[in-house]
C-alpha cells in the first residue's frame, strides 16, 4: 500500500502538470545564489563534468541501484539470520 502511494505521488505531477520543468535542486540553488549575489564565484569546480545530461542521469541511476542492491542484500541477510537463529533456538 505504501509503495502504491509513493508511485501515485511520483506520477501525478507528471500527468497533471504538462509544461512543468522538472529540474534538480542544484540548478535551483545556483539560480537563487545568482539572484542574491550576481558576482558570486564557486569555491571550486568539478573534477569531471559528464559529457551530457543523459550520462549524468545514468550515473545517478547507477548510484541509486547500487545503494538499493546493498540495502536489499543487507535486509535479506539480516532476515535470514534472524530466521536461522529462531530455528536453532
SS (H, E, C) the chain: CHHHHHHHHHHHHHHHCCCCCCCCHHHHHHHHHHHHCCCCCCCCCCCCCCCCHHHHHHHHHHHHHHHHHHHHHHHHHHHHHHHHHHHHC
Give the mean model confidence (pLDDT) for residues 34-59. 87
Give the predicted TM-score (pTM) of the model: 0.53
Q: Show me where the domains of the chain are located.
A: 2-88
- Report pLDDT digits (tens) over 17-44: 877 776 778 778 888 999 999 888 888 8
Amino acid at each position: 500500500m505504501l509503495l502504491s502511494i509513493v508511485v501515485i505521488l511520483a506520477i501525478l505531477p507528471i500527468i497533471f502538470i504538462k509544461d512543468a520543468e522538472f529540474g534538480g535542486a542544484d540548478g535551483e540553488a545556483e539560480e537563487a545564489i545568482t539572484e542574491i549575489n550576481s558576482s558570486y564565484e564557486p569555491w571550486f569546480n568539478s573534477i569531471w563534468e559528464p559529457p551530457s545530461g543523459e550520462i549524468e542521469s545514468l550515473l545517478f541511476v547507477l548510484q541509486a541501484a547500487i545503494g538499493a542492491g546493498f540495502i536489499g542484500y543487507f535486509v535479506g541477510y539480516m532476515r535470514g539470520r534472524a530466521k536461522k537463529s529462531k530455528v536453532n533456538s
